[in-house]
Structure 1
Amino acid sequence: MYTIFRPDLDAFARATLAEQQRLQSGDWEPGELRDLQLQRVADTARYVREHSPFYAKLFAAADVPASGPITPEQLARLPFTTKDDLRSGMFDVVSLPIDRAWIFYETTGTTGRATPCPRSDHDSIVNNTALTLAYREIFEQHGDKHVVAVMGPTELHSTGDTFGDVMHNLGHTVVKMWPHSPLVGFPRALALLEKLGVTALICTPGMAISLAKAAGAAGIDIASRLGVRLILCVGELTSPAMLENLGGQWNARVYNCMYASQEASIMAACHADGQLRTVPVSNYYEVIDPATAQPVEPVDGVREGELVITHLYQGAKPLVRYRTGDMVRLSAQPGSVTEVMRPIGRVRDALLLGGELVTAYDLEQTIFSHLSGVLDYFISLDEVDGRDTVTITVETVDEIAGLRIDRERVGRAVGEAFGVGCTVAVAAVGTITSTGAMVSWKAARIHDRRVTDSAEREAALAIAAGRDSR
């Protein structure tokens, strides 16, 4: 609504909507989109060089055209921006004074220096429009009207504002509640889910698991007593098999609803078919080999490597050739200018198992392809007589579900897939697994006893200890 008080923003919002509606309907031609992207990459590069002290220095000698589009060759010669750059540059990376942003956020700071993430009106319009269009069909599949519980932190964090705005655009009721907050807590959260007839949750997979555990401890059957029909998971890597398992506990459809970060905003959004798709009118996507920083070539239409993005809109903190530190598989779609994105774990989340690097995604997908009735899981890694061994601890919904698990089958599948020894145990796994969105999948899910524990694992343990004490 605020745009009606600002004619310039109203015009920008309408133009953004029209552009992204064309993307939804498949009206963009590949050449037309490519021309638009190269023009906007150049626009962003010129914008940050003029307004950001960090980029003024980084691009001082860069070959950025004075006007018009950039060429692919010029783009390839622009230096990357890294997470370390953001941590050292801090406010110098920002392209607008804080008093020209509409809101200020920061990264969590749990595994490194918290970095500023202000948003301008243009930032929010571009990103929230993409989510609104993508989620409309998802919600329509599950009914006309919804009461949506947005379960994420609100202090210095974008979750509540972003999803509140998107759900408002779609005409749904929003309840913002963070169960880890001392003002809410899990008992009150569960009571509100039932009392208000909440039909949709927006939360991390860890939060959905924690709610299920709390409900089980309170004797609440979430599948029959609560009316949740869909869960939009955000903030953590989650495989399709894990999502399906989680949906079975809630009797709901579970979606990996976006790929995003506080610093880079929305890079892919989930659509009605459950697939994450890129937003190429908002971002320019590159995929590189994380070791060599060279672009990867597609294999059978799929590019796998570290994702690099450039923002195609000029807001408070646009980034140029930003190395996300995340591994993805980008799959070309015949007849479409968008690509399907499958996040497969952070670069540093890769595990050396059986002499090969294994992604977080592939390990979890393999495990859960042979499991059901599981609430949570944790993995320990050891080396015995020169061979890597994996111990998977699974926490089941009840004792009967635990007895149904074919431990030998799961262990054999994991062992054969990754060349390791594997055993499966059924037991409680604790609260460390709920910290994934604050640290990483690896820190929350893996105890690698072959190496010295990392600072990220120590951070995960500290957060878990704080949650246990409440």
Structure 2
Amino acid sequence: MTPEELTDWQTSALRTVLGHVYDKSPFYGRRLAGVNLDIKELTGLADIPFTTKDDLREAMHDMLSGTVADAAFYFETTGTTGRPTPCPRAPIDFDLNVLPLAHALDAIVRKHFTGTEERPVLAVVAPNDVHAACLSLSFAAKQLGIAKLDLFPITPTLGFARFFEVLVELKVNMILCSPGLLMALAEMSSTYGVEVPEDLSVKVLLTTGEMCSDGMRDLLAQTWHAESYNFMYGSQEAGCPAVTRADGTVMAVEPTYLLEVLDLETEASLGLQGYGELCLTTLVPGLKPLIRYRTGDLVEIAPDASGRRAVQVLGRVKDMTRIGGAKRSAAEIDNAILADPELIYGYEIDVFSDDGEDRLEVRAKAKEGADHDEIKKLVSGRLTAAFGVPAEVKIHPLLDLKSATGGWVSWKTARIKDRRVPEVADDIEARSAADLARAVERAI
């Protein structure tokens, strides 16, 4: 499909889905009343009202273009950042989300297993209660003839001891998991008599569920002695609008989504590429299409050599932290600290202000045998060079579990404490991150 053909398809599909939600969704019937839906060019998308997370929580089932009885499967959001919202998927929704996952998985399997006698065994380390990832990967793996198992250790039916036993017994060689939990698993494995990577057969890591910066990707690869991919970007409510290629580039899933970028200051549309907040429009007339849905995620989208759009997810917009007079993304901070993957397991960072001048304090967990003085020198030097503020690095033997599991809720909640502002008395994200950490402690 040429770029021109893709644009024509997207424009036609946009008109179709706008008519679909206007006719069938009570929420969009109200929201789009009086709006010109006969869009002739994609630039007309900017005239359509936004949909927000608050809209999803307030509208609930009125957001649907049908009823739950029309769904093939029912999922919902986790509720870690607010009220859980329904995310049922009709057959067309589910199938068109599985298809790009299957293509991406197939390319990676061919890259790593072609010409070998070893066959892929994929463990999906993610919650599977009304959650789409496990089921979607089941269908994708089945299409490709890949053995797949759900293996979430933070449940009373499994636990960490049996989790590691299964990895060893089945010679699992592919794992899909969040980056933070993968690092936590590597740290705790010796407690259960398993050394990562020596005692395992893992050769491919597929990350999802939270931002995976370049620094974190390299840290995972070095720690597990496996190739690490930022496998898929998405959410319960929006599905999967971006997946990896075998070369590690994350690509927009077109023609089933429009990935629009919004200016961070003006909220104006920058079109389908640029640096800013990701705004998604579903082009599938299914059970819960979303129109100009503000994800809250910070991205940079640019065409590759073929003209297809590559997507870099840089964290959440609200996770940006002002340091030294400039807003810094989660990815910038991650990459500055994790540039030496052979030295560090993870970190936490505090931001202070002394007489109006910012300074940073980092607590880093060193890998076994790493030179502590070298870590302090390298990390503090990079932070000061990158952000123009003094930085002190301390080596800590044990970090808060939230730094590993809290990323499911918020990267910033998990790793950064901004000491320049008062803590929020009742912060749902902080409570959710603490609840997850306690669940892990109980499972351990």
TM-score higher than 0.5 here? yes
- 1:245 and 1:372 in contact (8 A); partners too: yes
Q: What are the superposed Cα offsets for residues 165-206 of structure 1, whole Å, 9 maximum, x if unpaired?
A: 111122110111111011111111001000011000011112
Distance verdict in 2 for CA 1:234–1:63, change over 3 Å: same
How far did residue 38 of structure 1 move? 0.5
Q: What are the superposed Cα offsets for residues 440-462 of structure 1, whole Å, 9 maximum, x if unpaired?
A: 11111111121122412233123
Select which of 161, 173, 176 maps to 1:187: 161
Select which of 30, 36, 39 maps to 1:63: 36
Q: What are the superposed Cα offsets for residues 230-267 of structure 1, whole Å, 9 maximum, x if unpaired?
A: 01010111111211111111111111111101111111
Distance verdict in 2 for CA 1:158–1:402, change over 3 Å: farther
- Letter paired with 2:278: L
2:25 paired with 1:52 = yes
- 2:406 and 2:436 in contact (8 A); partners too: no
How far did residue 404 of structure 1 move? 6.9
* Whole-angstrom distance in 2 between the partners of 1:164 and 1:207: 21
- 1:310 and 1:321 in contact (8 A); partners too: yes
Q: What is the identity percentage for the equivalent residue pairs of Structure 1 and Structure 2?
A: 33
Give the equivalent residue in structure 2 for 1:374. 344
- Letter paired with 2:7: R
- 2:232 and 2:250 in contact (8 A); partners too: yes
- Letter paired with 2:134: G
Give the equivalent residue in structure 2 for 1:204. 178
How far did residue 421 of structure 1 move? 1.5
Q: Bigger shift: 368-377 or 141-150?
A: 368-377
Secondary structure in 2 aligned to 1:118?
Answer: coil
* Whole-angstrom distance in 1 between the partners of 2:162 and 2:345: 21
2:241 paired with 1:267 = yes
**Which ranges of 4 or more aligned residues in structure 1 deviate by more than 4 Å?**
none
RMSD (Å) for aligned C-alpha atoms: 1.7
Select which of 362, 368, 373 maps to 2:332: 362
2:78 paired with 1:108 = yes
Select which of 344, 353, 377 maps to 1:408: 377
* Whole-angstrom distance in 2 between the partners of 1:201 and 1:258: 13
Distance verdict in 2 for CA 1:53–1:423, change over 3 Å: same
Secondary structure in 2 aligned to 1:207?
Answer: helix
| Aligned pairs (5 A) from 1:268-283 | 268-283=242-257
How far did residue 402 of structure 1 move? 4.8
Give the equivalent residue in structure 1 for 2:102. 132
How far did residue 297 of structure 1 move? 7.2
Give the equivalent residue in structure 2 for 1:32. 5
* Whole-angstrom distance in 2 between the partners of 1:48 and 1:295: 22
How far did residue 308 of structure 1 move? 1.0
* Whole-angstrom distance in 1 between the partners of 2:437 and 2:37: 47
2:229 paired with 1:255 = yes
- 1:236 and 1:436 in contact (8 A); partners too: no
Q: What are the superposed Cα offsets for residues 347-391 of structure 1, whole Å, 9 maximum, x if unpaired?
A: 101001011000001111121124423222211222223221212
Give the equivalent residue in structure 1 for 2:56. 86
- 1:310 and 1:322 in contact (8 A); partners too: yes
* Whole-angstrom distance in 2 between the partners of 1:152 and 1:345: 20
Q: What are the superposed Cα offsets for residues 22-42 of structure 1, whole Å, 9 maximum, x if unpaired?
A: xxxxxx111111110000011
Give the equivalent residue in structure 2 for 1:333. 304
2:262 paired with 1:291 = no
Distance verdict in 2 for CA 1:291–1:89, change over 3 Å: farther
Give the equivalent residue in structure 2 for 1:99. 69
Give the equivalent residue in structure 2 for 1:305. 276
How far did residue 53 of structure 1 move? 0.2
Q: Bigger shift: 71-80 or 50-59?
A: 71-80
* Whole-angstrom distance in 2 between the partners of 1:40 and 1:83: 24
Distance verdict in 2 for CA 1:397–1:188, change over 3 Å: farther
Q: Structure 1 unaligned runs (5+)?
A: 1-27
Give the equivalent residue in structure 2 for 1:418. 387
- 1:190 and 1:211 in contact (8 A); partners too: no
How far did residue 296 of structure 1 move? 2.8
Distance verdict in 2 for CA 1:288–1:380, change over 3 Å: same
Distance verdict in 2 for CA 1:181–1:402, change over 3 Å: farther
- 1:329 and 1:341 in contact (8 A); partners too: yes
Secondary structure in 1 aligned to 2:197?
Answer: helix
Give the equivalent residue in structure 2 for 1:351. 321
* Whole-angstrom distance in 2 between the partners of 1:73 and 1:137: 34
Give the equivalent residue in structure 2 for 1:438. 408
Secondary structure in 2 aligned to 1:102?
Answer: coil
* Whole-angstrom distance in 2 between the partners of 1:389 and 1:457: 23
- 2:364 and 2:394 in contact (8 A); partners too: yes
Give the equivalent residue in structure 1 for 2:430. 457
Q: Structure 2 unaligned runs (5+)?
A: none
How far did residue 151 of structure 1 move? 0.7
Secondary structure in 2 aligned to 1:313?
Answer: coil
